[in-house]
Amino acid sequence: MLPFEQVGMDNIKQAFSEDFAFLEELLRLGLEALGWGAGHQGQGRLRFVSPIRGLRMDGLRLILGLFAKSSKQLRAIMVLCERGLTSDAETIARNLFESLLAIQFLLKPRLTLLENGKRIQPDKKKPLARSFRASLYDAHLIFQHTRRIARFRKTPRLKRLARHLGDPATFDKMS
């Protein structure tokens, strides 16, 4: 423990106890909405997931994965703030914001497309349905992975790691 860390933690707990209680409740509600509440002992499957119109199962899995990631990020922020490590919590808060934007992008029933601040009409033959947006997000993740491996292949001490991570073109065969 760092010098004066316990004193700082005690002061933070006293000053922000209501805020931390609110965050705990928010996290609990989010988990209970998925059927993973306090009474759940980690056995079996999620009890409840409501169907979302226009979203296939792979898109739903993606959203649930982002939700799980967001829940862990929120919990990490809470722990870091309780310990007075706010600058580290800010970094994770930015990641949480990005995760929530992705969830909103995938769940929103309709999107308004803008180009240079002006509305543009999407191609009526290719609507931006939820399932299509989920596929776009998956493609984005694969492109990020591909780019990362390409950089690793050019970096002397990371070439072996790039070989270990494999070819992203076979990414779908790995799952």
Per-residue pLDDT tens for 61-107?
A: 888 889 889 989 999 999 999 999 999 999 999 999 999 999 999 98
Task: Specify the DSSP element, H or E, that contains 115.
Answer: strand 113-115
Quick one: pLDDT band at residue 163, thresholds 50, 70, 90? confident
Q: What is residue 132's predicted lDDT score, i.e. its pLDDT? A: 85
Other CB atoms within 10 A of residue 34 CB:
17
Q: What is residue 47's predicted lDDT score, i.e. its pLDDT? A: 47
Same domain, 105 and 119: no
pLDDT tens sequence across 112-128: 888 898 988 877 787 78
Same domain, 18 and 91: yes
Same domain, 45 and 95: yes
Same domain, 12 and 80: yes
Given 86, 109, 132, which residue is the final one in a domain? Answer: 109
Given 85, 109, 133, which residue is the final one in a domain? Answer: 109
Domain that holds residue 4: 1-109
Same domain, 7 and 71: yes
Q: What is residue 56's predicted lDDT score, i.e. its pLDDT? A: 78
Same domain, 37 and 97: yes
Quote the CA–CA distance of 94 and 86 in Å, as a whole number. 12
